[in-house]
Every structure is written in C-alpha cells, then in structure tokens.
Chains A and B, each alone.
Chain A
Amino acid sequence: MTSGDPAQPRRVDRAGIVIAALLALLAVVLVWDARGLQSAAMYGMGPEAMPVVVASGLALLAIGNFIDALRGNLPARESTDPVPVLLILVGLALLIAIIGFGGGFILATSALFVTTSAAFGRRAVLVDSVIALVMSTLIYLAFDRLLTLSLPAGPLERLL
C-alpha cells in the first residue's frame, strides 16, 4: 500500500488507480447485466434505462478518480495494522460458516465476540468465551421465548 506523503504530493496514487479501475469494471457489469433485460410490453421507460444511466455516471466518476489518482491529490492516509482487521474478518467468516452449517446462533455469535475482542487486544480467550456464551444464550432465550422469533438453532440451542 502506498502512503500519501505530504512532502511528495505529485506522486501517482496506486490505490486510487485501482479504485478507478473498479468503478469502470462496475460500469461494465451494469451494462452487461442490462443487456439481458427485455422491456416487454411496457409503456414509457424500460428496466434497462436506469442501469445504463448509472453506468454512465460510474464511467465518468472512474475517469474523475483516475485523474485525481494521477495527480496524486488524494487525502493523506495513515498506515494500518492488518492483523486486527483480519482477525475480525475471520470472526465474521466463522459466524457465517457456523450459521451455514447449522451450528446455531450461540456458537456463531460467541465466535465473533471472542475474535473481535482479541482483535482489540484482549488475550483472555477463556474468560471472553464464557462471557460470550452467557450473553448469546441470554439473547437467544430472549428472542426465542419472549418474542417467539426463531434464531438459527444448533446443538446448544436444542439443549435449552
């Protein structure tokens, strides 16, 4: 990652160019998707008009962002620490996987709680796990029993 150094404001911003490219790509996807639509039996404007308008806007913005990036006049950025971000993302991935494979609400949210807490610098995994399990069990009971809204159930929930 490039870090914008205020001392050299004219340097090309590589991240900015990637952003511009992504916007252009998005515009292409929109037009490609809109081509598959049929404006059957409609009076006035068809379903493909708006995607094309949005795509044109995105294309123009891609150019604008590209020019900004070439000139290097993007706001300065501070360096980031990728480890905590990855930890939280792992937590979210765990949550989705546990829900997806029927592990239930309590395990899933506990996993997210513990990884996030670790990402913010805590190392007491065991204590956090206990807190997470108690909290998510209480939430589960509140939703399931009091509000009769069913959250995803897994092995733990079936014990309750």
Chain B
Amino acid sequence: MFRFPACLVGAAVALTLAAATPAFAQQLELKLMAPAAPGGGWDQTARSMQQALVASGVARSVQVTNVPGAGGSVGIAQFVNGAKGDGNQMMVNGFVMVGALAMNKSPVTLDQVTPIARLTEEIQVIVVPANSPIKTAQDLAAAVKADIAKVTFAGGSAGGVDHVMAALFAGAVGADAKKINYIPFSGGGESLAAILGGKVTAGISGLSEYEGQIKSGKLRAIGVTSEKRIAGSDIPTFKEQGIDLVIANWRSVVAPPGITPEQRKTLSDAVEKMVKSDAWKEILKQKGWEDAYLGGDAFADFLKKETVRVTDVLKSVGLVKS
C-alpha cells in the first residue's frame, strides 16, 4: 500500500488495508492457540513463543489462548474451523497430538492445517533399575524375544510417544509389537517410582526427566533414540547397538487451513526470525529444550511421515481400529 501516493488514498482506506495485509513483520498481531490447559508443555511453548516474538521485535503483540481437551483434539477442531484463512493465527502442537487425533477418531486431522515449523524436540531413553540383569539394548531385545509378556514397560499415557516407542522397539527387534506389555502411568513421577522400585522391567521417557537418576547411578540408561550420540554423553544410541529405533518427542507450530502463500511466508519468516533471536535461545536454555528448528516444506514432509508412522504403530498395538 505504500506504493500509492498518500494523497490518492483516504486515511480510512489506508487503515483498513493495513489491517488486512500485514506487509511488515513488525506489524504482526498474532493469536497463538495452546490446545492444552495453562501450565502444560504446549502452553509453555506458546507462552515462550509469545515472549520471544515480542522481545525480538518480530511481532507487536501475541495473545495466547488455551483450548484444552483430549490431547489437543478439541483445540485443533476449533482452530481448523474457526481460524480458517486467518493469517494472524497459529497453534502449537506436537507428537502427542498425532496419536490423540487417531485414537479419538477426530474428524479433523493434521492434513488440514498449514505446517509452519518444528521448534523443539526431546530425545527419548529406555532405562532399567541399576540392579537389573539387563545391561544393554541387546539384553532387553533378547528378553523381549524370549517372552514378550513378561517384559513390562512403564511410561506415559496410552498412545503417547513412550507407548509408540515401546511398540517400535519390539518391532525393531523382531518381536510382535501387538503383544507388548506396556503399562501407562500418569506423569513421569509415578512411572519412575515403579521403575526404581523394580516393579517393571524397563521405563521409557524423555531423557531430561530421568537425567538426574541416570547420573546418580540409580537407573541405567540402555539406549537413547537420537540418530547420533549426544555430545558429551556416554549413553549409546539404539542405532549403534544395532536396533533401528529413532524417535523424538517434538513440538511444532502450525497455521490455519486456507491461508494464502504470502500469509504462510509471513508467518514462516516470523517464526524463523524468532528461532534465531537471543530471546528464544535464552528461553531454550532456561527450560532445557533442544532446538530442533525445521521449517517450510521439510517440516511439512516430516509431519506427513510422522503421521503415517504413528498411525501404523497405533494400529499394530490395537489402539486404533484399522
């Protein structure tokens, strides 16, 4: 609109145009939905984005709304229907939503949203109590192959990343993933107690959650799910132990369906700028999150592949009817 001489355009028209086409990132007034209750992981991601977007001058204002319910199923339904075509709205989501949508038979799927970027991820780990006879991933694989029912895995909610990972592990070592004895606990605390108390064979969780116990020697980490060994860590990956198990608990941000390519670019640029800002890096450090920025089509691809992979696993363990 700045192409037009000011004298030709009435002030009122200019104002409406300015509101309709935010040509400059500095003018962004964003609405960010956290499809979860205040305080949780997605909410914290949204509020951290709010902080970083404003602090780095990418956006003038960011408003966070919370729409909790059923692993994000409620939020995404509202987002897809209510924000269609709105280039000033985004929603935080993550791995858990993929499984939740499949399990809850949600009419809305992640195919409908416009992918913007993956932001963070957390590496997963399998641990056993310090006094367990299982020392390596291969030991655990042997136990699973010998009698899969007797190997109990403790982890987070049914259909979440821990559960998917248990099934992937069983599949990767050639056992029947359908028969895994996975015991979901609510929250890392409860499952950790069950592992420390020797009630279960092994535990699955995000690495940071068990880091203290691993360092103090109460738990033994038998493998992490990263592609390569984490710098400065002596925990082997599953890959180097000959088990093809790579997975991470990622969080990302998406835009509504039906936005124009320009709107998508504006949002993508804004997020990219935010990710590179010092404010965001400071927050990542504070919260202990791993930067896993992946933008544009690469993320869209990733999202598609994860959706297929997770849905297949959930079908194989009988959580989703095929």
A and B touch in the complex (CB under 8 A): yes
A interface residues, Cβ below 8 angstroms from B: 38, 40-41, 43, 148-150
Contact (Cβ within 8 A) A41 B65? no
**Chain B CB within 10 Å — which of A40, A41, A148, A150 has the most?**
A41
Contact (Cβ within 8 A) B63 A149? no
List, in ascending order, chain A residues with CB within 8 A of B181's CB: 43
Q: Would you call the interface of chain A mostly helix, strand, loop, or mixed?
A: loop
In the bound assembly, the distance between CA atoms of A148 and B181 in angstroms comes to: 43
Q: Which of B64, B179, B180, B318 contacts A150 (CB 8 A)?
A: B64
| Contact sample, A vs B, 18 pairs, CB 8 Å cutoff | A38-B318, A40-B317, A40-B318, A40-B319, A41-B178, A41-B179, A41-B180, A41-B317, A41-B318, A43-B149, A43-B181, A148-B64, A149-B38, A149-B66, A150-B63, A150-B64, A150-B65, A150-B66
In the bound assembly, the distance between CA atoms of A150 and B33 in angstroms comes to: 11
Which 5 residue pairs spanning A and B have beta carbons closest together? Answer: A40-B318, A41-B318, A150-B65, A43-B181, A41-B178
Chain B proximity of A145: nearest CB distance (Å): 12
List, in ascending order, chain B residues with CB within 8 A of A41's CB: 178-180, 317-318
List, in ascending order, chain B residues with CB within 8 A of A43's CB: 149, 181
Q: Would you call the interface of chain B mostly helix, strand, loop, or mixed?
A: mixed
Chain A proximity of B176: nearest CB distance (Å): 10
List, in ascending order, chain A residues with CB within 8 A of B149's CB: 43
Chain B proximity of A26: nearest CB distance (Å): 24
Q: Which of B151-167 contact A (CB under 8 A)?
A: none
Chain A proximity of B205: nearest CB distance (Å): 21
Chain B proximity of A53: nearest CB distance (Å): 21
In the bound assembly, the distance between CA atoms of A40 and B317 in angstroms comes to: 8
In the bound assembly, the distance between CA atoms of A149 and B64 in angstroms comes to: 8
In the bound assembly, the distance between CA atoms of A34 and B179 in angstroms comes to: 23
Q: Which of B32-67 contact A (CB under 8 A)?
A: 38, 63-66
Residue of A nearest to B179 (CB): A41
List, in ascending order, chain A residues with CB within 8 A of B65's CB: 150
List, in ascending order, chain A residues with CB within 8 A of B318's CB: 38, 40-41
List, in ascending order, chain B residues with CB within 8 A of A40's CB: 317-319
In the bound assembly, the distance between CA atoms of A9 and B169 in angstroms comes to: 68
In the bound assembly, the distance between CA atoms of A149 and B67 in angstroms comes to: 11
In the bound assembly, the distance between CA atoms of A43 and B181 in angstroms comes to: 7
Chain B proximity of A55: nearest CB distance (Å): 23
Residue of A nearest to B321 (CB): A38
In the bound assembly, the distance between CA atoms of A38 and B63 in angstroms comes to: 42
In the bound assembly, the distance between CA atoms of A43 and B152 in angstroms comes to: 10
Q: Which of B127-168 contact A (CB under 8 A)?
A: 149
In the bound assembly, the distance between CA atoms of A155 and B178 in angstroms comes to: 53
Chain A proximity of B192: nearest CB distance (Å): 21
Residue of B nearest to A144 (CB): B63
Chain A proximity of B27: nearest CB distance (Å): 19
Q: A38-B318, A40-B318, A41-B180 are in contact. List 5 more A-B contacts (CB 8 A).
A: A40-B317, A41-B178, A41-B179, A41-B318, A148-B64
